[in-house]
Amino acid sequence: MIDLPDMFGIDRDQLLNKVAALLPEGRRIEREDAARLFRIAELTEIGMLANQVRQRIHPGRIVTYLVDRNINYTNVCNSDCSFCGFYRHNPRDPEAYVNSKDVIGKKIAEALELGATRILLQGGHNDELPYDYYLDLISWIKDKFQIELNAFSPSEVHQMHRVSGKNYGEILRELQQAGLSGLPGGGAEILDDDVRKRVSPKKIGADLWIEIMEAAQDLGLTTTATMVIGLGENLEQRLNHLDRLRELQDRTQARGLKGFNCFISWNLMHNQNTSIGRSRHAASFGASASEYLKNLALCRIYLDNIPNHQSSWPTLGPDMAQVGMNFGCNDIGSTMMEENVVSAAGAPTLHRWSMSPEELRAHIRGAGFIPAQRNSSFEIVQIFE
Ligand code: SF4
């Protein structure tokens, strides 16, 4: 292995030894060291460090998965994100839709037949949907089906604020009373406003994303955190994202609340359906598989207060998800049954949007781990030795 000169005020071995000494004791690494680690460490070295953190938090070989269905209630959206190929801006577009209760109900019934324990409901920011639409949909689902319901990322909650004038806390309380048990962490992309203004200027900024998540966590709703790399962001902007998440998690946990229960990251997909993909700068977007893995490991090390880290199969496929289990991840995500957002931007899910529980278990075993089904609160339902 080539020893790099002391480019960052500390040499390679010193840095690796320093980090390796901190992690088993549950001590955290600071931002400067995280930046150095990302730049200096070999892929396998950072992967091993991430596994140390994983083993401290989740000793053993269990990797979990969730049986669920992802349902999009509408693809109409006013936000025009440059990386999105899913939305239709005009509600009169022939491809625009708002799924009826009938359609949504059929999808939930199919999911229940497969043994799903959760429904994940997300959609665009559709100005034609009144606030009552959301409350009515949640209470209708909860009345009709026995299933946990996670729905509406922070930018959708902001859309409800726009159409109702109600504050975020009030909206979230009413959704919770209607039967909502958690919020997905979508729409975080990179929590740095320079990046957001460049790629999704109409979407909520980093402060609002954090504020809405904090309000949800205060109510005890289940929440997850996400990150999308490859938006042309630099390492400092990625660290800004991680700092925002780590700080919020510290604040929430200091109040005795659970905060984010899982962190999920993936690479930007940008085919011809997205404005980034059609632009002449398309080649400067996206991230390589090695960069994804390195970032995956760095996130496990840096976000030491988020207990579960997911090696997600929909964007980079199940083979990469298997590798990710050796980069600090203790979860492979879910069956999904349906995926329309990253698929529309070119993810492999365009051709393969569903994974059966048996397949997920086979991928976990194939990577040398023991599969276990969990619910959305990460409680183990069954271990498959
Ligand atoms: S990513 Fe979400 S918010 Fe942005 S355009 Fe697509 S559906 Fe709308």
What are the pLDDT tens digits along the chain (385 aa)? 344 444 555 789 999 999 999 999 999 999 999 999 999 999 999 999 999 999 999 999 999 999 999 999 999 999 999 999 999 999 999 999 999 999 999 999 999 998 999 999 999 999 999 999 999 999 999 999 999 999 999 999 999 999 999 999 999 999 999 999 999 999 999 999 999 999 999 999 999 999 999 999 999 999 999 999 999 999 999 999 999 999 999 999 999 999 999 999 999 988 888 999 999 999 899 999 999 999 999 999 999 999 999 998 988 899 999 999 999 999 999 998 876 666 666 666 545 568 899 999 999 999 999 999 999 999 999 999 9
Is residue 14, in this structure, part of any structural domain at all? Answer: no
Distance CA(378)–CA(331), nearest Å, equals 9
Distance CA(51)–CA(57), nearest Å, equals 10
Q: Give how many domains the chain has, as a whole number.
A: 1
Is residue 28, in this structure, part of any structural domain at all? Answer: no
Q: Which amino acid is at 373?
A: Q
Residues recorded for the chain: 385
Ligand 1 centroid to 340 CA: how many Å? Answer: 12
- Model pTM? 0.94
Ligand 1 centroid to 376 CA: how many Å? Answer: 24
Is residue 142, in this structure, part of any structural domain at all? Answer: yes
> Which CATH number covers residue 283?
3.20.20.70
Residue 40: which residues within 8 A CB-CB, separation 6 or more?
Answer: 4, 7, 8, 12, 15, 16
Q: Are 85 and 124 in contact (CB under 8 A)?
A: no
Which range of residues forms the domain containing residue 196?
Answer: 52-383
Distance CA(301)–CA(315), nearest Å, equals 22
- Residues having CB closer than 6 A to ligand 1 are 77, 79-81, 84, 86-87, 124-125, 155, 200, 203
Is residue 280, in this structure, part of any structural domain at all? Answer: yes
Q: Which atom of ligand 1 is nearest to the CA of 186?
A: 2
Is residue 81, in this structure, part of any structural domain at all? Answer: yes
Is residue 255, in this structure, part of any structural domain at all? Answer: yes
Q: Which atom of ligand 1 is nearest to the CA of 125?
A: 8
Q: Are 235 and 287 in contact (CB under 8 A)?
A: no
Is residue 1, in this structure, part of any structural domain at all? Answer: no
Bridge partners (DSSP) listed for residue 44: none
306 in helix, strand or coil? coil
The backbone torsions φ and ψ at residue 225, rounded to the nearest 5 degrees and listed phi first, read -120, 145
Residue 118: which residues within 8 A CB-CB, separation 6 or more?
Answer: 66, 67, 68, 69, 147, 148, 149, 150, 334, 375, 376
Q: Are 222 and 150 in contact (CB under 8 A)?
A: yes
Classify residue 274 as left (phi > 0), alpha (psi -120 to 50) or beta. beta
Distance CA(220)–CA(243), nearest Å, equals 22
Is residue 344, in this structure, part of any structural domain at all? Answer: yes
Q: Which atom of ligand 1 is nearest to the CA of 86?
A: 6
The backbone torsions φ and ψ at residue 332, rounded to the nearest 5 degrees and listed phi first, read -110, 5
Q: Residue with the nearest Cα to atom 1 of ligand 1?
A: 84
